[in-house]
Amino acid sequence: MNTNTFFKWLALVTLCTGVVLAGFHFFIPPAQEHGMFAIASLVLFALVCTGLFFAGASAAKSKSRVAFINLVSGSVFGKMVLALGFLYLYKQVAKPGNEWFVGIFLLCYVVYTGFEIWFMTRLART
């Protein structure tokens, strides 16, 4: 997978996820207080995917046969720690009035994890 293709798909995934989150914001009143958190979640996962794409492209070209597997294993753990830290930090700093932020975050997490699996599988084939 080349860089242009990755960024086109990343833009499409981000746009579609953003539309769903905008729907939450405009049509579900309890979700409105988490608008900035939703945007921050989109940005966070877009950045994580971008970093992982470049690291994966480099690992796929590596002479080490285990570099790509190590990257995938490390990224799963790292993303989980980052996700928990991000949720904890938001809860501590913003003191949200409801739990909608968890659903918003899980939507982003699941969508971008699916995208990550897709592009990492394509990178592995190279």
Ordered by start, the domain boundaries in the chain are: 3-26+33-125
Q: Which of 90, 88, 69, 70 is nearest to 80 (CA)?
A: 88
**pLDDT (tens digit per residue) in 52-80:** 999 999 998 888 889 999 999 999 999 99
**pLDDT (tens digit per residue) in 33-53:** 999 999 999 999 999 999 999
Q: Answer whether 0.85 is exceeded by the pTM.
A: yes
Q: Which of 95, 120, 88, 110 is nearest to 34 (CA)?
A: 95
Whether 9 has a pLDDT exceeding 90, the answer reads: yes
